[in-house]
């Protein structure tokens, strides 16, 4: 059983038992921090699907703690000085609230949406402008 728990990531539940989960304000701050760091990535690579595939190193369609830690520490370059390891453990407890040992796309998406900027990116602004132009053309044709 211990080996199965290790392979499925459920062994982390016992390791993180005494780690306090972050409160709502801390979750918001963590989400904003990750979103801010993700803004360094190429806008085309920042789609949620591309991000999830990037994090999911083993292609399992689930993210392990190790994969999340690799993203945070290496790809996003968030040091332990900025985000203590205990805070990363607490973040994991929030993300993996069902204690499955992994997080899925929905769990990650819900977390990232909490701290997303309400400002539109250049790509989003361009899409909105194109949509508005199309709608204006349709109105002109109808008249």
Those residues whose C-beta lies under 8 Å from the C-beta of residue 140, and which sit 6 or more positions away, are none
Other C-beta atoms lying within 10 Å of the C-beta of residue 46: 16
CA pair distance 141, 86, nearest whole angstrom: 60
Q: Any idea where the domains of the chain sit in the sequence?
A: 2-118
Task: Encode pLDDT of 102-126 as tens digits.
Answer: 999 888 888 888 887 766 667 767 8
- Phi-psi bin for 78: left (phi > 0), alpha (psi -120 to 50), beta? beta
Q: Is the dihedral of CA 115, 119, 77, 44 positive or negative?
A: positive
> Is the pTM above the cut of 0.85?
no
Contact 32, 78 (CB under 8 A): no
Q: How confident is the model at residue 26 (pLDDT cuts 50, 70, 90)?
A: very high
Task: Encode pLDDT of 46-80 as tens digits.
Answer: 567 778 888 898 999 999 999 999 989 988 889 99
> Residue 51: which H helix or E strand, with range?
helix 48-55
CA pair distance 12, 2, nearest whole angstrom: 11
- If you classify domain 2-118 with CATH, what class do you get? mainly alpha
- Phi-psi bin for 42: left (phi > 0), alpha (psi -120 to 50), beta? beta
């Amino acid at each position: 059983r211990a080996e199965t728990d290790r392979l499925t990531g459920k062994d982390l539940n016992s390791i993180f038992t005494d780690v306090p989960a972050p409160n709502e304000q801390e979750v918001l701050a963590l989400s904003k921090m990750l979103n801010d760091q993700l803004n360094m990535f190429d806008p085309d690579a920042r789609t949620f699907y591309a991000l999830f595939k990037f994090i999911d190193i083993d292609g399992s369609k689930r993210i392990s703690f190790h994969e999340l830690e690799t993203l945070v520490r290496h790809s996003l370059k968030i040091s332990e000085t900025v985000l203590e390891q205990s805070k990363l453990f607490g973040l994991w407890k929030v993300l993996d609230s069902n204690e499955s040992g992994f997080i899925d796309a929905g769990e990650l998406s819900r977390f990232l949406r909490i701290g997303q900027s309400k400002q539109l990116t250049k790509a989003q602004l361009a899409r909105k402008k194109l949509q508005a132009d199309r709608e204006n053309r349709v109105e002109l044709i109808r008249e």
